[in-house]
Amino acid sequence: MQVPRFKPSIVALAVAAALAAGCSDLKMPGVQDAHAAAPATAAAAAPARQLPDFSALVDEQGPAVVNIAVKKDPAAVALRGNRAPGDEELREFLRRFGLPAPDRMPQPDREAPAQGVGSGFIISADGTILTNAHVVDGATEVTVRLADKREFKAKVLGADAKTDVAVIKIDATGLPTVKIGDTRKLRVGEWVAAIGSPFGLEHTVTAGIVSAKSRNLPDERLVPFIQTDVAVNPGNSGGPLFNMNGEVVGINSQIFSTSGGYMGLSFAIPIDLAMKVKDQLVAYGKVTRGRIGVVVQQVTPALAESFGLGTPRGALVSNVEPNAPAAQAGLQSGDVIVAFNGKPIAESGELPAIVADVKPGETATARVWRNGAERDVKITVAEMPAERATLAAAPAAQQGKLGVAVRPLSADEAKRLQSDGGLLVERAEGAAAKAGMRAGDVILGVNGKAVKSIDELKSALDAAGKSAAVLVQRGENRIFVPVQIG
């Protein structure tokens, strides 16, 4: 896509302003120093920087973006904990658009159906549309408004809360459609644009760059989000995220905010994941996923050093569920999964989605780093339940050279924490506190060796050298904590 250059007059004005201010040392890109011996034509011939122009993208792809209005049962909304925007949020919205705010804000009618607004995009000319599951969750009526102002009632074909993807359908033909891109080719730093209906303002275009990929958010382990700095606000949910080729690379889904508005971080569901979910929803009305029964965490440089891994990569197994496929295949806490079914794992957040994509009952191959070498482990993948039960859990910890006071778990504590042993941290100081350990953590192992007594912990620390990967349980999670003890 062609993008405009800076106009020469703008560069000339910038240089003139700098010289007028006495900034003779200022050098602009593509502009020669006034005292240089190079001919003046060299400056004119130097290329100027380019800025992106999204106008062609909007003209071509905008017609396939839709506004979605929903009515919801107020009782269902109350049960889900949804709420209407507060007084302060509404006042701020009115202020930003130069509108006066009344002294008393109108209160929602509790008996009237709750209403919401979102966005979506047409993926097939017969009226199939992708949006977010939370946009249509609990909806009793869904209305789709096209760019040409036509309105249609829509049917929800299926919704998947785990990935926040929904498919809806309107009775129409010959509709404009978006182009589907490849998230794998998306690069951090490249320009992207969103089209949606923030606050109900239809076909609003915002732009920014990709800030990060494969970003995991709390309770969203199946989605390796695309993080951007594109301005996304309530109403953008379900709208498309485009690359500069005019291809959809994601579905705008969430924002990070303490106020309810945009604060510089927005997150999109990768389109390749969304399309796989769509295929299952259309075919079966639900999504089946594979699971192997492990909890994983990121491999930090310190943990990579502790495990002799070299460069940080893969997904570190911090917990293996009893009798789960991973346990039956011999996977252990402390293993680092560096590839799954031939797909390299660079970040721990990539693994859950890759495993979920495997059909239950199939045999997968996990390449594992253990004891300084790689090995292949065959795992028969099971089906993920619709709702996973939360594992009972306990805290995590360390001691000895670590600078903590510990004691063995009592029988009641071990039973409550579903652990066959460990050491409860009562006080954390020194290296342990610096690494993030705290009272209430429970130490389970050091560098892959289980510890159930103070003597075993001391022995493991003596053999660890200058750094140790301490397996701890905290709350509902088991994690490895890298501690420098040298």
According to DSSP, the residues that pair with 458 across neighbouring strands are: none
Write the CB contacts of 230 (distance below 8 Å, at least 6 apart in sequence): 192, 193, 194, 206, 207, 208, 241, 252, 266
- In a shared domain, residues 307 and 239: no
Residues 117 and 194 in one domain: yes
Do strands 179-180 and 247-255 pair parallel, antiparallel, or not at all (unpaired)?
parallel
Does residue 205 sit within a domain?
A: yes
Task: Quote the pLDDT of residue 261.
Answer: 65
User: Is 391 among the domain residues?
Assistant: no
Are 125 and 203 in the same domain?
yes
Is residue 119 among the annotated active site residues?
Answer: no
254 within some domain: yes
Domain boundary pick from 315, 350, 383: 383
Question: Do 215 and 115 have their domain in common?
Answer: yes
Judge whether 441 counts as a catalytic residue: no
Phi, psi of 27 (to 5 degrees): -120, 125
If asked whether residues 35 and 60 sit together in one domain, one would say no
Type of residue found at 395? P
Nearest Cα residue to 194 out of 245, 231, 149: 231
| Residue in the block written with tokens 């191959």 | 365
What is the domain range of residue 24? 8-45
Write down the pLDDT at residue 48.
58
For residue 383, CA distances in Å to 316, 339, 403, 474 come to 22, 20, 43, 27
Per annotation, catalytic residue among 137, 164, 335, 441: 164
Known catalytic residue: 134? yes
For the segment 174-184, what is each residue's pLDDT rounded down to a tens digit?
Answer: 999 999 999 99
358 and 340 within one domain: yes
User: Among the three residues 287, 304, 328, which one is the final residue of a domain in this structure?
Assistant: 287
Q: Does the residue 66 lie in any domain? A: yes
In a domain, 395, yes or no: no
Check whether residue 140 and residue 280 sit in a common domain.
Answer: yes
Sign of the torsion angle spanned by Cα atoms 343, 357, 481, 373 = negative
- Single out the catalytic residue among 119, 134, 160, 419: 134
Give me the CATH number covering residue 375: 2.30.42.10
In a domain, 161, yes or no: yes
Considering the candidates 197, 214, 237, 253, report the single residue annotated as catalytic. 237
Q: Which residues contact 147 (CB under 8 A, 6 or more apart)?
A: 62, 63, 64, 65, 66, 176, 203
Question: Among residues 287, 313, 329, which one ends one of the domains?
Answer: 287
Taking the model in full, what pTM does it have? 0.60
Residues of the chain with pLDDT under 50: 1-43, 75-100, 103-112, 387-399
346 and 442 fall within a common domain: no
Those residues with Cβ within 8 angstroms of residue 146's Cβ, 6 or more apart along the chain or in another chain = 63, 66, 152, 175
Q: Is residue 1 part of a domain?
A: no
Based on the fold, state whether residues 117 and 247 are members of the same structural domain.
yes
Note whether 273 and 144 are same-domain residues.
yes
Residue 390 lies in a domain: no
Own/partner pairs, 35-40, CB within 8 angstroms, 24+ separation: none
Overall number of domains in the chain:
4
CATH number at residue 201: 2.40.10.120
pLDDT at 260: 62
Tell me: do 458 and 476 sit in the same domain. Answer: yes
Burial class from Cβ neighbours inside 10 Å (0-12, 13-18, 19+) for residue 321 reads: middle
In this predicted structure, what is the pLDDT of residue 114?
A: 58
Same domain, 366 and 409: no
